[in-house]
Amino acid sequence: MAIEGRDIVIIGIQPWYFEIGSNCKSIAMEFQKQNRVLYVNTPVNRKTLYSNPDGVGIKSHINIIKNKTEPLRNITPALTEFHPRCIIESINWLPSRAAFRMVNRINNKRFAKEIRWAIEKLGFKDVILFNDSDFFNGVALKELLKPSVYIYYSRDYLRGFSYWKKHGDVLEPEMIHNADLAVANSAYLADYCRQHNPNAFYVGQGCNLALFDHDQKHDQPEELKNLNGPVVGYVGAITSERLDMNIIRIIAKAKPEWNIVMVGPEDHAFAASDLHQLPNVYFTGRKNMEELPAYIQHFNVCINPQLLNQTTIGNYPLKVDEYLAMGKPVVATRTRTMEVFSDHCALANSPDDYPGLIEAQLDHNCPATAEGRIAFAKTHTWENSVGAIYDAIDVFSKKNKAIG
């Protein structure tokens, strides 16, 4: 059930002016098709004010604060970007939880005052407040702004990262509990939210797959032209926090006649690893996004050799949708999230499973199976994901009305 004609305020951990795309920006673009949307940029904190005043987007935001210039900008007729004119204190370093809470409350009040100004300026009424993972700046906004519905959106297990863990271990569960409902892009994160709020919903992930078009033919990349035998490939960031280099090692040693091609920037651990000494493992380095479909198209099997830890286990694997959209066989590490893909991917329970599963994919790939993969990937649209958010709001509203 679509929601139409409402006023929606979005806060999050990524400002609009960051050039990279994000779930939150894509959701905002979908919301604004049928509603008015205010996208509130992250407030500038005091540390950033002094340490990174010329950062991308930061300089113009600081100029708005200092010169009191217009903080509202239309992205579309229905979508407005807002630069909060407050400075908030940098407090994550505070060792005392009580001190953190006290100053964070002050930060929330400053932030809420700015949002309230923008809401009144635009004439927004009966707002829906959508919070993309900002449990620091958003924890008190339900009380301070009194939205008609407050939604918390979980798309990463942020508590697995050192910056968020320090105070997030207490604050995020509190944020989820205080929200009217929580929505998540993976089944794992939906389960996590449900531990703190019974009104938690899995809403899937939208993907912009226009670039990964199976019907578009690409020339074979130079790095692949002289390889003999099957090509098993990966595209994306190659980081030791997220990928299990032992899986790559096992595949390469078990099947020396295969070529394992890793496309993307490496972190120091991968760059210094023994994988560079294996004769059938190739690292291409960073490639532009527009180049990636050519590599995927000329892979025989695609892999996602994910390392299992707190920061990865709940992640939605966007690259798997990109692989499937091009009709490619996929072998990936089994996680709660990957269960959604189980009809279209081979899932490994352990690193040792990878060689056999890849061989099975090489032996049994066919056009009909490829078409099924493509059709499945195309169901992961932002329209469908936001539709699921609308359904969650509708379920909550009906439930709340019945209780009332």
pLDDT at 78: 98
DSSP secondary structure letters along 70-94: --EEEEETTEEEE----EE---TT-
Q: If pLDDT is split at 50, 70 and 90, which confidence band does 402 have?
A: low
For 392, half-sphere exposure in the C-beta direction (CA atoms, 13 angstrom radius) is 27
- d(CA 148, CA 129) in angstroms, rounded, equals 8
β partners of residue 181: 151
What tokens appear for 295 in the block?
Answer: 């590599």
Contacts of 194 (CB under 8 A, 6+ apart): 182, 200
Nearest to 94 by CA among 14, 167, 35: 167
- Of the CATH numbers 3.40.1000.10, 3.40.50.2000, 3.30.470.20, 3.30.1330.20, which one belongs to the domain with range 7-206+381-403? 3.40.50.2000
Q: How would you class 125 by CB atoms within 10 Å of its CB: exposed for 0-12, middle for 13-18, buried for 19 or more?
A: exposed
Ranges 105-109, 210-214, 308-312: which has the least confidence: 308-312
pLDDT at 251: 98
pLDDT at 26: 94
Contacts of 108 (CB under 8 A, 6+ apart): 137, 138, 139, 140, 141, 144
Which residue type occupies 359? E
Q: Hey, CA dihedral for 379, 265, 25, 80, is it positive or negative?
A: negative
pLDDT at 87: 94
pLDDT at 49: 87
All structural domains of the chain with their residue ranges: 7-206+381-403, 222-377
Evaluate if residue 324 carries a pLDDT over 90.
Answer: yes
Which residue would you say has higher pLDDT here, 49 or 201?
201
Q: Hey, CA dihedral for 335, 336, 337, 339, is it positive or negative?
A: positive
The reply to whether 222-377 shares the fold of 7-206+381-403 is: yes
pLDDT at 390: 97
What tokens appear for 389 in the block?
Answer: 């958010």
β partners of residue 88: 45
pLDDT in tens, 85-140: 999 999 988 999 899 999 999 999 999 999 999 999 999 999 999 999 999 999 99
pLDDT in tens, 331-374: 999 998 899 999 999 999 999 999 999 999 999 988 899 999 99
pLDDT at 82: 97
- Residue 259: which H helix or E strand, with range? strand 259-263
Whole-number average pLDDT of the chain: 93
pLDDT at 1: 67
Which residue would you say has higher pLDDT here, 174 or 163?
174
Which residue type occupies 233? G
- d(CA 157, CA 313) in angstroms, rounded, equals 8
Q: How would you class 115 by CB atoms within 10 Å of its CB: exposed for 0-12, middle for 13-18, buried for 19 or more?
A: buried
pLDDT at 22: 86
What's the rounded mean pLDDT across residues 396-401? 81
Q: Please tell me the total number of residues recorded for the chain in this structure.
A: 404
Count Cβ atoms below 10 Å from residue 12 Cβ, excluding itself: 25
Enter the CATH code of domain 222-377: 3.40.50.2000
What tokens appear for 317 in the block?
Answer: 């694997």
pLDDT in tens, 28-68: 999 999 999 999 999 999 998 888 888 878 899 999 998 88
What's the rounded mean pLDDT across residues 247-260? 98
Q: What pTM, to 2 d.p., does this model score?
A: 0.89
Evaluate if residue 404 carries a pLDDT over 50.
Answer: no
Nearest to 319 by CA among 260, 264, 371, 387: 264
pLDDT at 56: 77
What tokens appear for 160 in the block?
Answer: 């697995």
For 243, half-sphere exposure in the C-beta direction (CA atoms, 13 angstrom radius) is 25
CA distances from 229 to 53, 255, 336 (A): 52, 10, 33
What's the rounded mean pLDDT across residues 213-237? 95
Evaluate if residue 177 carries a pLDDT over 90.
Answer: yes
